[in-house]
Amino acid sequence: MNFSLPPADLTDDQIKALILNFLLRRRLWGGKYYTAQKMVRYIGQDVLGDGKKVRRCLNELVKDRWINPRKKGNTISLNPSYTKEIPEFIDKHLIA
């Protein structure tokens, strides 16, 4: 696979779109979830080099209820109530 790394100067909305797109591609809605720490490590270190910024954006998505925390906040999943809004947000903010 040929992955191109996005620039490190992404806006918060673009980072949120990356997080949502990651979960959406894996179809992690409701009862299916992914480890939050692995998410921050994958997007933060491998892609952006700034895990603190990714963690802050992840917490904002939880606060806005687009992502549901599971297992005492250690895992996350997409909120099924936003099935329409999440793909629209990704399309609007994610660099193609």
Rounded distance between C-alpha atoms, residue 42 and residue 52, angstroms: 12
- pTM for the full predicted model: 0.85
- Kindly report the number of other CB atoms within 10 A of residue 2's CB atom: 3
Q: Is residue 86, in this structure, part of any structural domain at all? A: yes
Q: Which two tokens stand for residue 28?
A: 């992690």
* pLDDT level of residue 11 (50, 70, 90 thresholds): confident
pLDDT per position as a tens digit, 13-58: 988 999 999 999 999 998 899 999 998 888 887 666 778 888 999 9
Q: Note whether 55 and 43 are within 8 A (CB).
A: no
The CATH number of residue 50's host domain is 1.10.10.10
On average, the pLDDT of the chain sits at 86
Q: Is residue 58, in this structure, part of any structural domain at all? A: yes
Q: Is residue 57, in this structure, part of any structural domain at all? A: yes
Rounded distance between C-alpha atoms, residue 69 and residue 59, angstroms: 9
Instruction: Indicate whether 63 pLDDT > 90.
Output: yes
In single-letter form, the type of residue at position 25 comes to: R
Instruction: Indicate whether 79 pLDDT > 80.
Output: yes
More confident residue, 10 or 90: 90
Q: Is residue 1, in this structure, part of any structural domain at all? A: no
Q: Note whether 36 and 74 are within 8 A (CB).
A: yes
